[in-house]
Amino acid sequence: MAISPTSVTRTDFGAVKTAIHRRLIQKLNLDRLTEVNREDVRREVGQILEALVVGESTPMNLQERERLAQEVLDEVFGLGPLEPLLADHTISDILVNGHRHVYIERRGMLEQTGVQFRDDAHLMSIIDRIVSAIGRRIDESSPMVDARLADYSPFGRGRPVPLDSAVWTRAAPRRRPDQQQ
């Protein structure tokens, strides 16, 4: 497989994504975001993001720019690097065991993925986003939580021993009792 000379390496891609995400946050009027329709916000963020990506000095082909834009949108509006896994309906469970180890269950078999978080702080920010949406918190005094995500799938999170990494799981969405046929 030949690599394009303008291709961005994995490390460079992560650094570019982080830099663009920071610049996007600086450009956004975060107070206004809560007052505007979610689709309008997503469209506006997409336009700002496209301008930032096009203006990036790191050479990227169209595919890399589109991937970068999608990953930043996933960071802003979703669960970051887990979004592609959440969208895959063949996955019945997701297990995150620290920022470098993400596993999935598919057809009863556990598989390690190539998905990673930048670091444990990145993983914890995603976990905090999930639990704060349901009015809960995670910290040293309350290290575990069981909840339901927006799609009604169960979410469990706990800090393993030693207390230097985060672990969480997400099972496949289940139908609510009122939706069952």
Predicted confidence (pLDDT) per residue in 40-51, tens digit: 777 777 787 777
In the predicted structure, residue 31 carries a pLDDT above the cut 60: no
Bridge partner list, 93: 105, 171
**Average pLDDT rounded to a whole number, residues 126-146:** 80
Specify the pLDDT at position 163: 45
In the predicted structure, residue 71 carries a pLDDT above the cut 60: yes
Residue 179: is it exposed, middle or buried by C-beta count within 10 angstroms (0-12/13-18/19+)? exposed
Instruction: Express each pLDDT in 139-178 by its tens digit.
Output: 777 777 777 777 777 777 665 544 455 666 666 665 555 5
In angstroms, what CA-CA distances link 32 with 23, 29, 120, 132? Answer: 17, 5, 30, 20
In the predicted structure, residue 7 carries a pLDDT above the cut 80: no
Specify the pLDDT at position 62: 78
CB 145 within 8 A of CB 130: no
Which CATH class for the 82-175 domain? alpha beta
Please state, in angstroms and rounded to a whole number, the distance separating the CA atoms of residues 117 and 124. Answer: 10
Specify the pLDDT at position 173: 62
Mean pLDDT of all residues belonging to the chain: 75
Regarding predicted confidence, which is higher, 13 or 81? 81
Residue 96: is it exposed, middle or buried by C-beta count within 10 angstroms (0-12/13-18/19+)? buried
> What are the CB-based long-range contacts (under 8 Å, 24+) for 167-170?
167/95, 167/96, 167/97, 167/98, 168/95, 168/96, 168/127, 168/130, 169/93, 169/94, 169/95, 169/96, 170/82, 170/86, 170/93, 170/94
